Structures are given as structure tokens and as C-alpha cells.
Amino acid sequence: MTQRINYVQQSPELFKKYLEFTTLLKDSAIEETIRDLVSIRASQINGCAFCLDMHVKEARIHGERELRIHHLPTWRESTLFSPRERAALAWVEVLTKLPEHGVDDDLYERVRGQFSEKELSDLTYDVMAINGWNRANIAFRTVPGSLDKAYGLDKANLA
């Protein structure tokens, strides 16, 4: 794969602001484990190799178990995820693949049963953020692993 353009260099101020937005999410009401699962699952759905590579490495650095990462595509059948994690995974899937008629009330109520209003709002911003990054990195074919050293992802020892 060859990168098309470097969108960071072409639009540095926009990149900086979007990165600031994403960085703010680290202080949100959503725990790191769920943020990692959300980023990985959205990147899987969208087919973003760069983001999938990055977020798997981040999750491993944060202590996520390898088997849970492998089970993410089949989270509905897996016994490795808590009800709260399942709700977050359902939310990321519905917001990443928006249905024609919006978010079903039953799904909303199931997810709302696991998250406070503040948490659900913060989770939605997490989903928005990763979907934006996926779109930029897919559009410009950012090479997976190309920024590992810069982002400290080489510490995951997954190369």
C-alpha cells in the first residue's frame, strides 16, 4: 500500500484541532477498555487497516487480553464481554453502520440501561471520533504501522 497524500501536512490546523478533540475523550466518562474496544470494532467494520493496527497495539499496551481482541468480530456469541461492553459494541455498530431509519428504540433502551446520559453522550463522541479517523486514513491510504515509533506503539511488541 502506498499513501496517497499526507493529510496531516496538508491540513495541519484541522489535524491539530481534531487531535485535540480526540485527546479530550481520554478524560471522558468512558473507561479506557471500552474506548479501546470501540476503536477496534469501528475500524474493523470500516476496514481501516491503519486504525485497526494502531488501536490493537494501544489496547495491548493498556493490558487488553489478546483473545478478547480476536473475539471482537463475534462479540455477540463470545462470553468474554460484560453487559456494559456489549452495550458499547452494539452502539458503535449501529452508529458506524447507520440504519436507514435511525437507531431503534429497543437498542437505545438496552444501551441506555448500561450508561448514564453523560456516559452515553461521551461514548457517542468516541464513536464519532474513530469513524472520522477511519475515513481520513482510508481515503489517503495511511500505511499501517508507519507511525508506531512516533506514537509509542512499538512498545506493544506486535511487529
Q: 146: closest CA among 34, 25, 4?
A: 4
Look at residue 148 and tell me whether its pLDDT is greater than 80: no
Q: Number of structural domains, the chain?
A: 1
Backbone phi, then psi, for 6, in 5-degree steps? -100, 95
Grid cell, residue 92, equals 458503535
Query: pLDDT of 119-145, one tens digit each?
Result: 999 999 999 999 999 999 999 999 998
Tell me, yes or no, whether 150 lies in a domain: yes
Task: Give the CATH number for residue 59.
Answer: 1.20.1290.10
- What angle is formed at CA 83 by the lines to CA 80 and CA 87, rounded to 5 degrees? 110
Q: Identify whether 1 is part of a domain.
A: no
Write out the residue range of the structural domain in which residue 65 sits.
9-156
* 4 found inside a domain: no
pTM for the complete prediction? 0.94
